[in-house]
Structure formats: structure tokens, C-alpha cells
Structure 1
Amino acid sequence: MDARQLEYFLAVVDHGGMSRAAAALYVAQPSLSQALRTLEKDLGQPLFHRIGRKLVLNDAGRALVEPARQVVRGLATARAGVESVSGLVVGRVEIAATPSQAVEPLPSLIGAFTAEHPGISVAVKAAFTASSVIDMVRAGTVEVGLLASTEEPTANGVHFTSLWRQRFVLVTPPDGPFAPGHVVQHKELAGRRLIVGQVGSGMRRLVDQIRDSGVDLAAVVDTEHREAILPLVLNGTGMAVLSDAWAGLATRSGARVHDLEPAAYLHISLATRPDSLSPAAAAFMASVS
């Protein structure tokens, strides 16, 4: 097997099919199919269940994913290292981020980094929960993960760099029931219509904790699309508990933002693998230290 075959294999896995992978790689689909067949022949067994035109990873394929990522990532790191010795300030860093952190602080982190390293590109991949970010870093899908958690994160095989905390706030429609500047007590949410996020997210966990404390909350909308929460608040559907990463955007959009008491926070961290980073990823981590 060779690195190109592994790269093609991972493209099929990441893009969910042969045609999308071929388009992403800018190669002809027959060439991609041939590379996969050669890889399977070299390994002595198939890597996918072929159901019609659909490819589904089998046990052998799943076992190959992480080693393949390590090989491809290692070659990319070696190539970037050689280029950096030649004085070429180029490269690419891939970052996984949860939605709220993609609103802030990710833009600020990327802005400062690209201003210092204009030749390095940044690719941001979506992850809905902190555990998803950690899994992507551990598997080698990305080198850096930006996540938020209600407790300081820990995970085997992953190193965490703590940044700061974000406070949870209540975001209400422009004509919301609380006066501007009012600090909302949890008990004041009783009977209020709330828009809640995905199970496993910090905001959903806090809402569940408030409900478990005896406050009668009405979840009028339960959405996995966090980008839909603020528009739903603005059109009067309900109010939402969000991290203060959303405060600036919410205020500029006309919503009201209130502190909550008792205060609750998210811990914002960067996750990396403990082994060597590519020069681009190392430069990114250095820019935030």
C-alpha cells in the first residue's frame, strides 16, 4: 500500500461516497475506484460493504481509519517541516470547533493567527459537541480542536490547553419580559418558553439542571441546528440560554441579553494530540499561548 491509496480511502470515508471523494480530490472516479481495489488487494480483504452504489465501512475498514490518518498526517507534517526549513511560511491547519465557539473565540483566534502567518491556510470542521471534537482530534481527523465543557476536559490520548471561561446568559426577544440590565434568577424562568439545543451540549445541560432543580421550563423548540436558535428568539418563538459568545451578535441583532444567577460557565479549551504537530498547527498553538 502507499500513502496515495490511504488518502483516497480516507476521502471516501470522510465524504461519504466515491463520487464526492473523487470531486474533493479532483481525480476521476475510475482512478479512485482502482486505487481502493488495489489497497484492498494488498490488505487481502475488503474494507467496505458494497450495497448497491453505497459504500459502508466494515470492521476491517474501521480498523484502518485511525492508522491511515496517522500515516497521511505524518507525511504532511514531514513535508511541511522540510518546507519550513527552506523558509517557506506555508501550510494548512485543520481545526474542529463546536458551534458557539465558532461564533467566538474562533474568529478572533484565526484573525490573529492569519495576520501573523498570512501564508498558512485554516480549515474549520464542524462538531456539535465537545466529545465529537475530542474524537476528531484523537482520530487524527484534525490536529486542533476548540471546545467548551462545563467541567475542565480530560481524555486519554488528548492534551488540553485551557483558554478562558464563557458565562451562560439568557437571550430574549427585543420585547422580552425582563427589563434591560436585569439579572435573571433561575426561578424567574418558570413557565417561560425556551428554545433548547442538542443533548450533550453545555447549554442543554444547564437547562436540564435548572429543570431538575424544580423550575418548570417549557421547551417549545428542541433543535440540533444551533444557528437557528437566535433567529427563533428574534421572531418571538421563545428565549434561550446561550454562552456569552453569542452576546455581541445577539445584541447587534436587537435581542436582549441578561446575566443568569446563579452564574454558570463553560471552560474553553484547545485539544491536540500529545505527539508532534505539523509546523502550521504548532504555529497556531504558539499564537494563542
Structure 2
Amino acid sequence: MKPARPVLSRLGFGGAPIGNLYTEVSDDDARAAVDAAWDTGTRLFDTAPHYGLGLSERRLGAALAGRSGYVLSTKVGRLLVPAEPAPDPDGFAVTTGLRRQWDFSAAGVRRSIEESLVRLGLPAVDLALIHDPDDHAEQALDEAYPELAAMRDEGLLRAIGVGTNQWELPLRFVQETDIDVVMLAGRYTLLDRTGLPLLEECAARGVQVIAAGVFNSGLLATDEPGATFNYAPAPAELVDRASKIAGICARHGVTLPQAAIAFPLRHPAVASIVLGARTADEVRRNAALADRPVPDELWEELG
């Protein structure tokens, strides 16, 4: 019998920034960010070996030590293996004697979870997600998923799923496997609703969705549209669209990031949104935005 699915809090804490994504974050600031998330009622905490080559997992595990009643999510697909110490080439401000190695094999997935548990200081993980299997679809379906399902049966995991920046491959997982959760980044937002077919299938099959990347990496993160979309300079036409949306929001007394946070939660398949933060102030700002009501008239005008 499958274990009962963990209950996901409406707002989740994304652990990539405290893995030094793009810039260094001190241990104290990382801990303060997690503490602030806890104080605002967040009980879903997401991390991955990829985030800072294990730094995010270590920091999050230490910050959550001694606490209970939360859901912790980590990921599989990238093993951390020894390497010559060097700056990380994947955008995290860390220098370690480790590098990432893609591995969606059964043995690799089990090893990944076992090593994550050591870094986290935990005996089990609530949720494990197959992370970015875009170029490894068949191995992820044929090997990674069955191994995670076995680990779920063994009680090492309470729920399993897939996390990607695209919607087509997760749709296969929903249709062909018995996953519990999909984490979809950036494909169901105010600017990009291409992931709607996936959400509809998840709703029909009872698969929970965690929406991530709701700001599309920056364009929707501030009251005036930012300069990046999907981690690259935003095309002029998207900046123009975002500016028009911001104007509509303003007429209804709503800010652009407030609407960006609220939008995915309107779909019945979306159980939670995950927002990354590197400081306590960012956490509190996000929580305050998430708590502000958005009038139905805004959604009617946006269509």
C-alpha cells in the first residue's frame, strides 16, 4: 500500500538561492531565511543536490533539525562525484571538489537519495523528484521511476514525482506511471500558460502540482517588469506584454508579483507554489504578497 501523501503547504520555500545561486549567501543569512519561512507558516521546503553541489541540502537540513510537521523535497538525477576543486560552472557561487554527473539509473537514484539523507541529516525524505530528465526520458521512466516507487514502498520516501521546466515529459509520467507530484517550473504563469494540458491531466488523475518559477526568472518579480525571462534577457515583446499586465493589475490595486504568485493557485491541480529566497526579508515579502487577496475582476480582465 502506498503511504499517505504528505500535505503540502500553500507556500513553499525554494532552496536554490541558499545554495549560492548566482551569488554567495552566508550561513547566517541562509538560516535566517529558513527561519523566516517557518515563522510565516511555510511547511514545504524544496532542495536538490544540484543546488550549490550539496550546499543547499546541508543548510536546509541543519536549519530544520529538531523541527517536525514539515514536508521536505529533494531530487535525483545528478550525482555528486569527486573532482578537482574548481568554481562551479552551473551558476552557483561555490568552489568544491565535486562535480555533477547525470545518472537516472536505478542504482544511481538509490545512491542519490542515500547521499542526500546524509547531507540533510534525516532518516527519510518526504518527497523525491526526478530532476530535469529531459535528455534521459526513457531511462528516467524505465529505471529511475521504478526505483523511487520501490523506495516509496520501503518507507524511505512518502511521495515521488518529477520536476522540470517543460510540460510534455511530465505528462508522460502522469499518464504512464503512478507518481504523486509534478513540480512544474515556469510553464504555468501570467506570461506562459503552455503547461495547461499537463495541469488538466494532473487534476483528472489526482496528481498534485507544485508550481515553481512563477516569476519566469525575474520578469514578473517586481512591480515594474524586470529584464530576464527564463534566465536570459527578456525579448521586447514579452517585456511589453508584462508591462500591459502590470498596468491592468495596478488598476485593480494589485502588484505584478502579487498577481504572479496568485495566478497558478487558481488551478485546482496546483497544491502549492515554491518561491526561492536568499534572505529573511525576501521570504517575508513573498509571504505578504501571497496573503493579499486578488479581486476576481482582475482575472476576468486578464482572461
Q: Which TM-score applies when normalising by structure 1?
A: 0.27
More relative contact order, 1 or 2 (CA 8 Å, 6+ apart): 1
Question: When the two structures are superposed, what TM-score results if normalisation uses the length of structure 2?
Answer: 0.26
Which protein shows a greater Rg?
1
